[in-house]
Amino acid sequence: MARHTHPHEPAGEASTPGRVSGRSTLTHLLVSLRPEQWTKNLVVFAGLLFGLKLFDPHAVAQATAAAGIFCVLSGVVYLVNDIVDREADRRHPIKSHRPIASGALSPALAAAAAVTLGTMALALAFWLSPGFGSVALAYVLLQSAYSWPLKHMVIIDVLTIAAGFVLRAVAGAVVIQVPISHWLLVVTILLALFLALSKRRHELVSLAGNADQHRRILAEYSPYLLDQMIGVVTASTVIAYTFYCISPETVQKFGTDYLGLTMPFALYGIFRYLYLVHQREGGGSPAEMLLNDRPLLVCVALWALAVVIILYRPFGV
């Protein structure tokens, strides 16, 4: 992105933040919050779906509010991450166009917005439910820690990302006061690890020999190592989901053993994602892949529909 700086201004900082590319400061701030990543917070609704509260208006309202709060908190985490990584992002072929890295949005303004939005969202979370507020606070603290030391620790970095998804699932169950199966938490963390490792692989392959210059932790990985880890996590995810579907605990809770019929959707979804990662060089943005790849999107939609029909039996199944 071409930018013009004042002769006395340090390189990399724009002289008129908010006017770069003709966009307003508010627009740059909104872009930095990355609202397009909202699909990651759909995990919050897992408790609603598997807690048999999908048609409870109050529970739906609570879960929707919780998902909205996590969308804001996720945006706050992105702001913090972009502030911390702005120097490295300027050397990245894609991330260099982000508002903070390009100088279109000042770090000071971004930090002020992060504190303001984070405080408001957490206050609303505790008002909604003290338990939910505690989980939301834990999420912010964990992801903030990721932005500094944890993202530079091999394996710990992807585990931290996966833990963020688990906290989303836990928060969704806590806010509507339903228990969440241990098997479902295991599936969540394994699936999140699958996505995180695939993203690392995409970064490593797409940046080729310059990967460690953009993200130091990538020097600790190799495509072969990541493929081995992805293989282990993929198999573990399928096995864990299978056990969840057919376990006596699940059958007793839902009064049906038909949940195993959703296995073909789970298998296709995982295999389709692997195909996109290896054959189409995808994986950089799971949210973007979900929304832009029609077969994957249809698969997820059919899986959700099948789960609703089996668990809620609207047609007497």
Top mean-pLDDT range of 148-152, 196-200, 266-270: 266-270
Residue 45 clears pLDDT 60, i.e. is over it: yes
CA distance 150 to 145: 6
Q: Is 285 left (phi over 0), alpha (psi -120 to 50) or beta?
A: beta
> What's the rounded mean pLDDT across residues 124-135?
97
CA distance 274 to 290: 13
Instruction: Report which of residues 215 and 298 the model is more confident about.
Output: 298
Q: Maximum Cα–Cα distance for the chain, whole Å?
A: 73
Residue 14 clears pLDDT 70, i.e. is over it: no
Residue 126 clears pLDDT 50, i.e. is over it: yes
Q: What angle do CA 238, 59, 178 make, to 5 degrees?
A: 55
pLDDT of residue 90: 87
Rg, Å, the chain Cα set: 21
For the four alpha carbons of 34, 40, 43 and 49, in that order, the dihedral sign comes to positive
pLDDT of residue 316: 54
Tell which residue, 202, 198, 279, 270, has the closest CA to residue 236: 270
Would you tell me how many other CB atoms lie within 10 Å of the CB of residue 22? 6
pLDDT of residue 284: 72
What percent of the chain stands above pLDDT 70?
Answer: 90
- Mean pLDDT of all residues in the chain? 88
Q: Are 301 and 265 in contact (CB under 8 A)?
A: no
Q: pLDDT tens digit string along 161-204? A: 999 999 999 999 999 999 988 888 999 999 999 999 998 998 88
pTM to 2 decimal places: 0.86
pLDDT of residue 15: 36
Q: pLDDT tens digit string along 194-207? A: 999 998 998 888 87
Instruction: Report which of residues 292 and 2 the model is more confident about.
Output: 292
The amino acid at 176:
I
pLDDT of residue 183: 87
Residue 118 clears pLDDT 60, i.e. is over it: yes
Residue 151 clears pLDDT 80, i.e. is over it: yes
Q: pLDDT tens digit string along 232-254? A: 999 999 999 999 999 999 999 99
> What's the N-to-C CA distance of the chain in angstroms?
56
Q: pLDDT tens digit string along 49-105? A: 999 999 999 999 999 999 999 999 999 999 999 999 898 888 878 888 899 999 899
DSSP-derived 3-state class of residue 178: coil
pLDDT of residue 213: 64
CA distance 114 to 112: 5
CA distance 178 to 154: 35
- Where does the pLDDT of residue 211 fall: very low under 50, low under 70, confident under 90, or very high at 90 and above? low
